[in-house]
Amino acid sequence: MSLQRSLALALTLSLTLTTGAGTVWAQASESQNGIIAGKASDQAKKPYADYQVQLRDVSTGQRVLSVPLNPDGRFAFSGVTLTKKYLVELYQVKQNQIVCTAGPYTLSAPSMLSKTDVNINCGTNPAVYWLVVAGVGTAIAIALGVRSANQ
């Protein structure tokens, strides 16, 4: 076998193995999900069954997940998609209203796959505030984009 063929074979083999390993790593990262968990504030009174905790995607404003509080006033969301910003909302079922919010939180691999010390504190800004801030930011970005396109 000539030297050129040997080098070509070695290079091809090297690129194939490197690309395959990168693909496996990327698939593993994409399938990785996180956990957001914690405790409701003192605003949630027993029976805790009257409350749920909601996870809301800040960028879309959509509720992603909802779980009831356990008998100790705790909650946990598993399977949370990484790299998105989330608000955690204490929701009173009978009154059909958001009582308190916490966040926003962003999970990322490999440094922060879980946030388990969330305390939904009623002294913070409600979810509506964060959604308005996100909407204003989007409107400004669109306006600046249109303005620069017209110039």
pLDDT digit string, tens, across residues 63-99: 999 999 998 889 999 999 998 999 999 999 999 999 9
Residues of the chain with pLDDT under 50: 3, 6-30, 126-130
Give the closest residue to 69 by CA, choosing from 94, 34, 38, 35. Answer: 38
0.85 surpassed by pTM: no
Give the closest residue to 51 by CA, choosing from 101, 97, 102, 86. Answer: 97
**Token code pair at residue 123:** 């002294």
- Please state which CATH number belongs to domain 34-150: 2.60.40.10
Q: How many angstroms separate the CA atoms of 65 and 73, rounded? A: 17
pLDDT value at residue 88: 94
The residue with tokens 């076998």 is: 1
pLDDT value at residue 26: 36
pLDDT value at residue 144: 60
